[in-house]
A and B are shown apart, each in its own frame.
Chain A
């Protein structure tokens, strides 16, 4: 059995590899130095690469995001960490009006090769201002790429792809993933941003998800298998661009679609994915109405049971699939 590594270890390793390989790469963010980052991802890096390459910033998210954009325009390779993805609200102008726009607005004369890493998601009891999944906002902004790894291998593959990309990439890490384990391939696998992967083949229903929710979908698929329901799981990996084509291909086989996302249902990226399927010829392959499993349209409550009650879970995915299959074929309520 090959060695397992945690998602956190995989991230630290790929950051180390990147900093070692590219003199122009640098890491900046709050407490990324001696503290090692709020979630311990950059532990040991300042000791290895020094405080000129691993920079502890003051609490100035807008300012240092702007600085990263400027350095990127100059051809450097900033990797910035926003300590909790909720605080990305402070960076909105810089990301939306600056990073996303420069290349296009300047007629292709600039590029902004930066990677913004940020831990998102709920399930930790951190309440309404430290638990959100706001990635759909950026899916709505042309000019930003948004990726979301699920496993240690994905984390490394997607991170390398993000670093190789000449455009701004938002790299969402779910807090509950850091301690999860997986195996790394012997030879680094090439990931392409915007290319989904089928992680489990099945005939009865397509589960499309990303990040931690993809792992929930796999768990749900195991439970469904015990009930003789054969689920296919598509790991989107990237939300922008979104590989809806791969989902359509799967739907043409299964005829059913359940999308799983942790952001709130209304205005989430799941609605976009289902719309794209509905707009494509795969629509005719559907024999049940598609469904979404998403967070309830509320802020995240503190109490553990309340929090669990509004979040997607493997159980809720199983429920949704059961419901979808219980609908009469071709007759939508």
Chain B
């Protein structure tokens, strides 16, 4: 279903196929890195080697990669609790992310934030967020600053299908639209908010449809298809820049439980298997092979290298010191 109120900015569509081969492979590598990272963290939790909790985006890699590869210098993003993929696709350093998860002083937040709060504000990554919908206002604020300062940057705002049912969804989409703020809202509809199926929670059925009612271009796309996400995001982003908001709804799926532990009582094995059969990484690998950009050996080497990079990041982070206790009282001003 595609709901579009405005015509796209450029006549010719951006496609991955038009990119240099190396760039095409780099997108695959990013998805593999995200997967390797989350699979590693999942294992660490299973071993009891990690404090707190984390949420994994295994299966959803194409959403972050297909949108954030269009990011230009100066653009900012806001992430979610399921945020490792956003951070990696944004370009954050695996080692400093690992250090944060391990609660090390060298982590992005000095060990004070953990998985749900990874941020690199200076670089434009305005933070994962532990509150569902919590970053939607922040993204609008960043976009507001761009507009006031006549900068042609965009704020890219990730959120889940669950966040769509929060009041702030209405308030921020409305604000962004009446004030024409350059925000690209990216809804990762992974079919569930924890255990609640999105179809049971979403009156009217379509999130893109809801966004269209705020008078912004909005499109639903197959989030397991990197090519489709890439092309749609490129079009919507081009429309956002120096202009008003847009929304992309990506239909995707999380393979693992909601957080570190989850009995999966709300869905069937068959359903998970069905989505896995449509795996974004395998699918894109096949496409690249068909395009003669990739062969089996190269594909295996990339996957291996991703695992290796993640292993190295964690091994290095593990050797780092924990924060000084005094840091608990730093950045407290009231």
Contacts and interface: CB of A to CB of B under 8 A. Distances in A.
Contacts of A140: none
Nearest to B165: A58
B193 A59 contact: yes
A303 B323 contact: yes
A34 B112 contact: no
Interface in B285-307: none
Given A58-B165, A59-B163, A125-B52, A306 B130 contact: no
Contact of B52 (A31, A34, A35, A126): A126
Contacts of A36: 265
Given A130-B130, A298-B332, A304 B103 contact: yes
B114 interface: yes
Contacts of B193: 30, 58-59
Given A58-B165, A60-B167, A129-B130, A301 B112 contact: yes
A97 to B, nearest CB: 15
Interface in B127-147: 129-134
B195 A302 contact: no
A57 B165 CA distance: 10
Contact of A129 (B109, B131, B201, B202): B131
Interface in A294-312: 296-299, 301-306, 309-310
Interface residues of A, number: 37
Contacts of B111: 301-303, 306
Interface string A111-123: 0000000000000
B325 interface: yes
Contacts of B131: 86-87, 129
Interface string B180-215: 000000000000011110001110000000000000
A288 B69 CA distance: 65
Contacts, number: 117
B162 interface: yes
A303 B50 CA distance: 10
B266 A303 contact: no
B328 A306 contact: yes
Interface string B42-55: 00000000011100
A35 B257 CA distance: 11
B133 to A, nearest CB: 7
A281 interface: no
B109 A31 contact: no
Interface in A1-59: 30-31, 33-36, 38, 56-59
Given A125-B51, A128-B130, A130-B130, A303 B162 contact: no
A304 B167 CA distance: 33
Given A60-B166, A309-B325, A302 B114 contact: yes
A30 B196 CA distance: 8
Contact of B266 (A34, A124, A301): A34
B251 to A, nearest CB: 18
B196 A305 contact: no
A35 B195 contact: yes
B166 A59 contact: yes
Interface in B98-144: 100, 103, 109, 111-114, 116-117, 129-134
Interface string B316-331: 0000001101011100
B106 to A, nearest CB: 12
B322 A63 contact: no
A198 interface: no
A127 B194 contact: no
| 5 tightest Cβ-Cβ pairs between the two chains A and B | A125-B52, A302-B114, A129-B130, A58-B165, A125-B51
Interface of B: 51-53, 100, 103, 109, 111-114, 116-117, 129-134, 162-163, 165-167, 193-196, 200-202, 265-266, 322-323, 325, 327-329, 332
26 contacts: A30-B196, A31-B194, A31-B196, A33-B195, A38-B194, A56-B200, A59-B132, A59-B133, A59-B201, A60-B165, A60-B167, A86-B131, A125-B52, A125-B53, A127-B114, A128-B130, A129-B129, A129-B131, A296-B329, A301-B112, A302-B103, A302-B114, A302-B117, A305-B325, A306-B111, A306-B325
Given A58-B162, A296-B328, A303-B114, 9 more contacts: A34-B265, A38-B194, A56-B195, A87-B131, A127-B112, A296-B329, A303-B111, A305-B103, A310-B328
